[in-house]
Amino acid sequence: MASPAGCRVLFVIDSAAIGGAEHVIWSLLQGLPRSRVEPYLICPSSGPMVERYRRAAAAVATLDGRGCLSPLSIL
């Protein structure tokens, strides 16, 4: 089933701290054309960037415990 926006994109980042990679993801989320792309994000549940991510993405899934890049977390 196609997304109303056309394409769904999932971003995964293992930090929600304030730093370079986190700002790059946030900038990408904000800059995507919502008429064509529906962005989703998986990140840790704590950190100052989580609320920014929630405002910029279609949906944010947060994970506790294991890192976001752990195969068990992704499953």
Q: pTM for this structure? A: 0.78
3-state secondary structure of 27: helix
Task: Give pLDDT tens digits along the chain (75 positions).
Answer: 455 558 999 999 988 999 999 999 999 999 999 899 999 999 988 899 999 999 999 999 988 766 666 666 655
Please state the φ and ψ torsions of residue 69, each to the nearest 5 degrees.
-90, 0
d(CA 71, CA 75): 6
Per-position DSSP letters for 34-60, written without gaps between them: TTTEEEEEEEES-STTHHHHHHHSSEE
Q: Are 41 and 61 in contact (CB under 8 A)?
A: yes
Six-digit token pair at 4? 């109303």
